[in-house]
Amino acid sequence: MENKKELRNWLDAFGLDHPLVIAGPCSAETEEQVLKIAHQLKDSDANVLRAGIWKPRTRPGNFEGVGALGLKWLQKAKQETGMLTTTEVASPHHVDLALEHDIDILWIGARTTVSPFIIQDIADALKGTDKVVLVKNPVNPDLSLWLGAVERFYSCDIKNLGVIHRGFSAYEKTKYRNNPEWQIAIELQNKFPDLPLILDPSHIAGRRDIIFDLCQTALDLNYDGLMVETHYDPDNAWSDAKQQITPATLIQIMKDLKIRKEVSESEDFKNKLNNLRAKIDVADNQLIELLAKRMKVSDEIGQVKKAQNVSVLQTKRWNEILGKMVLEGEQHGLSEEFILRLFKAVHQESINHQEKIMKQ
Ligand code: PEP
Ligand code: MN
């Protein structure tokens, strides 16, 4: 797939003067619930209503969705509010039912994107469709798997494509339900700047209080839209209760977000600068996390050395590291002087950590 401008035609055709906002509950629960939420969102910036009908649950026993019945509720919501509709499809059978009920946008869930076989089956079922298909990133941090899914749709003559960034699962617990790994989405954006990129802050966060910040970061990184789980009674939602926000909260968030538009040349400059600064912030955060990870390993080495009564400073090993890093750095255009200064500082911090452990 080359970077084709036609990829974003569907979004330009919406004629929005703000990023696309998709909102609605994690799951359709009852007809009243779907209609009530749709009406609460009706006159907001959200013009696409989302609701999961078939819910892919990692563990059995959780609410698995109301099934095809819910498609009728989405149709009714569309009639009553004029909002477009979207739901997740995970099999050719889902595709047939969604098309029969004239769902406007189909999204592919993270657990589906990991399977090229299922993606191919869904792409075949959608062959030549004009519907918009949004592909969520796979559960694991693998850019090729994500792009591969987009390419399979594109090869089946499905041209109205976009991607949804919903974060990546990790074994270690962090403040996120799914780590954003912004650099993966940035890489995708650099490769395919015309492929609309939408953030799903809800599944990244897994909680309400950081939804706003995630949305702002996405706008600073020039994302094209947001998909936010929204429920009038989040605490009692049948799925993903902790991360859903009310339509009123979403409307407030949309008011507070700074959307940077290209108005004049100087606005364009500010835009670019903001975009690049957001990328620097992402990289800086990664640096800190990596340094912290390195120090943890260093602490463990300290414990091992202490148990064996070995000295903290191992000059030979240290000189080997330094030599290797200077060479590595050179290959990446980093000066010897910089590498030496950086690694001496890192080494000193490591020694401080280990000495503390020795003294314990
Ligand atoms: C969802 O959107 O409710 C969902 C199940 O998402 P994901 O595939 O990102 O887990
Ligand atoms: Mn959900």
Transcribe 238-257 into DSSP letters: SS-GGG-B-HHHHHHHHHHS
CB of 203 sitting under 6 A from ligand 1 = yes
- Please report the sign of the dihedral spanned by the C-alpha atoms of residue 79, residue 80, residue 82, residue 87: negative
How much distance in Å is there from the Cα of 235 to the middle of ligand 2? 13
The pTM (predicted TM-score) of the whole model is 0.82
Residue 108: how many CB atoms within 10 A of its CB? 24
Q: Is the CB of 52 under 6 A from ligand 1?
A: yes
- Tokens for 304? 């091992």
pLDDT tens, 21-35? 999 999 999 999 999
What is the reported pLDDT for 358?
A: 86
Q: Looking at ligand 1, which atom is closest to the CA of residue 137?
A: 9
Q: State if residue 110 touches ligand 1 by the CB under 6 angstroms criterion.
A: yes
Would you tell me how many other CB atoms lie within 10 Å of the CB of residue 259?
12
Q: How do residues 179-189 score in pLDDT, each as one tens digit?
A: 999 999 999 99
Quote the Cα angle for 77-78-82, to 5°: 120
> Looking at the CA of 139, which ligand is closest?
1
Q: Which of 166, 202, 227, 229 to mutate to test the pocket of ligand 1 (most atoms within 8 A of CB)?
A: 166
Distance 244 CA to ligand 2 centre (A): 8
Nearest CA to ligand 1 atom 9: 110
CATH superfamily of 267-358: Chorismate mutase (1.20.59.10)
Closest ligand 1 atom, CA of 203? 9
Q: For tokens 């955060």, what's the residue? A: 285
Average pLDDT, the chain: 93
Q: What tens digit of pLDDT does each residue of 271-297 get?
A: 888 889 889 999 999 999 999 999 999
Q: Show me where the domains of the chain are located.
A: 4-256, 267-358
Task: List the CATH code of the domain at 4-256.
Answer: 3.20.20.70
Residue of 64, 88, 179 with the most ligand 1 atoms within 8 Å of its CB, for mutation: 88
Torsion of CA 289, 256, 212, 138, to 10 degrees: -100
Per-residue pLDDT band for 261 (boundaries 50, 70, 90) equals low
Contact 304, 356 (CB under 8 A): no
Q: Assign 262 a pLDDT band (cuts: 50, 70, 90).
A: very low
The alpha carbon of 357 is separated from its chain's Cα centroid by a whole number of angstroms, namely 39
Q: What is the token pair recorded at 255?
A: 């008011």
What distance in angstroms lies between residue 131's CA and the mean position of ligand 1's atoms? 20
Q: Is 177 in the pocket of ligand 1 (CB under 6 A)?
A: no
